[in-house]
């Protein structure tokens, strides 16, 4: 099959370039193709997750910023990737990739210490990037579990795909919440939650030793709106009530307090305040500034992984935040 031939060529190009140390011209000569095609194959290998980059960016000079943000928001840790200074779509892609890589590196370290972890995961582009960069890890005793309903009309960046990728790449068990993220009514939600398999999956999710979540900025461009999980009317109502951020079926005002709304009674997601282990917030892109600050102020997250440009934007916003206790969780 042509597809198989293309994949073989991609992997060979990646091996010759990254492992054997050949440059692009030498790789092209070895493969009997052009340098331009080798460049394209290497880019496709990274995008497909066949090549992962591990950079020890703990020495990248962000420690003062990390410490300042951790103290400001009451976090037990804050990891900041190096800023790129890029704007627009290129900056957004770089931010998601950087946070995803940093989260994948953290996940590797956690699994090296405890190969039998139960790891909860939400959804979103940062989680998708994390799942694509976890390579070279064998953790057959670990479990990855979705924190929210996994049935969706779109596979892009949803919890099913994130859990599936992580489980496939590590050899771990993958557990999904076999329900939609948003039920048609509160009664439908209660009926779905009463099913034995659903109740068991929720129990596993609540037992997570560590959970990775992302945050939405709750605008028309937010993923939750783009995927039509909430309507334009829902969005307008939530914004009018003061909501600026969402994560795993909960909505937050700028000061970190939860915003009550009827749609919350239809969400099928784990209450993060009931999760046993640490919660790590992943946030990427300057557009997430207000939303990331709201979730960090809530006290739900024990720590955060932020891209450098977002972190600098948050730091420039001034101090004075009374975030939750270090490692604490907001009560619903």
Strand pairing partners for 212? Answer: 121, 280
Return the minimum-mean-pLDDT range out of 11-25, 180-194, 249-263, 289-303. Answer: 11-25
Per-residue pLDDT band at 122 (split at 50, 70, 90): very high
Q: Is the pLDDT of residue 2 over 50?
A: no
Q: Is the pLDDT of residue 298 over 70?
A: yes
Give CA–CA dist 213/138, Å, rounded: 23
Q: Is the pLDDT of residue 202 over 90?
A: yes
Global confidence as pTM: 0.81
pLDDT tens by residue, 206-225 = 999 999 999 999 999 888 88
Nearest to 164 by CA among 156, 147, 176: 176
Give CA–CA dist 99/222, Å, rounded: 18
* Angle separating helix axes 2-14 and 35-47, nearest 10 degrees: 90
Q: What is the pLDDT at residue 287? A: 93
Strand pairing partners for 149? Answer: 177
Per-residue pLDDT band at 116 (split at 50, 70, 90): very high
Average pLDDT over every residue of 173-183:
92
Q: Is the pLDDT of residue 41 over 50?
A: yes
* Domain covering 57-315 assigned CATH 3.40.50.1360 in the classification: yes
Q: What is the pLDDT at residue 1? A: 32
Per-residue pLDDT band at 63 (split at 50, 70, 90): confident
- Name the fold adopted by 1-51: Arc Repressor Mutant, subunit A (1.10.10)
Q: Is the pLDDT of residue 54 over 90?
A: no
Please give the residue that has the higher pLDDT: either 91 or 292: 292
Q: What is the pLDDT at residue 164? A: 92
**Distances from the Cα of 85 to the Cα of 58, 80, 100, 159, 169, angstroms:** 19, 14, 18, 30, 32
Output the average pLDDT for the chain.
88
Q: What is the pLDDT at residue 151? A: 66
- Extents of the domains making up the chain: 1-51, 57-315
Q: Is the pLDDT of residue 4 over 70?
A: no
Tokens of 67: 């410490």
């Amino acid at each position: 099959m042509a597809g198989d031939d293309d994949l073989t060529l991609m992997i060979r190009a990646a091996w010759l370039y990254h492992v054997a140390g050949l440059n692009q011209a030498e790789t092209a000569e070895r493969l009997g193709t052009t340098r331009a095609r080798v460049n394209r194959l290497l880019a496709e290998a990274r995008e497909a997750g066949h090549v992962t980059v591990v950079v020890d960016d703990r020495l990248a000079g962000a420690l003062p910023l990390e410490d300042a943000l951790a103290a400001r928001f009451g976090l037990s840790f804050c990891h900041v990737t190096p800023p790129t200074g890029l704007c627009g779509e290129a900056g957004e892609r770089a931010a998601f990739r950087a946070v995803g890589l940093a989260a994948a590196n953290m996940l590797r370290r956690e699994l090296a210490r405890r190969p039998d972890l139960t790891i909860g995961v939400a959804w979103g582009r940062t989680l998708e990037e994390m799942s694509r960069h976890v390579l070279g890890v064998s953790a057959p005793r670990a479990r990855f579990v979705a924190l929210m309903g996994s049935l969706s009309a779109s596979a892009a960046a949803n919890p099913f795909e994130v859990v599936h990728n992580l489980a496939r790449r590590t050899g771990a068990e993958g557990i999904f919440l076999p329900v939609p993220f948003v039920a048609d009514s509160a009664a439908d939600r209660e009926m779905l939650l009463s099913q034995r398999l659903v109740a068991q999956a929720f129990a596993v999710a609540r037992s997570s030793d560590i959970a990775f979540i992302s945050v939405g900025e709750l605008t028309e461009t937010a993923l939750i709106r783009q995927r039509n999980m909430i309507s334009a009317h829902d969005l307008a109502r939530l914004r009018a009530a003061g909501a600026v951020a969402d994560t795993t079926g909960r909505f937050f005002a700028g000061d970190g307090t939860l915003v009550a709304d009827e749609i919350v009674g239809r969400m099928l997601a784990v209450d993060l305040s009931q999760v046993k282990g640490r919660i790590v917030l992943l946030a990427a892109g300057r557009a997430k500034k207000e939303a990331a600050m709201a979730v960090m102020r809530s006290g739900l997250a024990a720590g955060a992984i932020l891209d450098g440009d977002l972190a600098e934007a948050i730091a420039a916003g001034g101090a004075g935040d009374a975030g939750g206790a270090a490692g604490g969780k907001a009560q619903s």
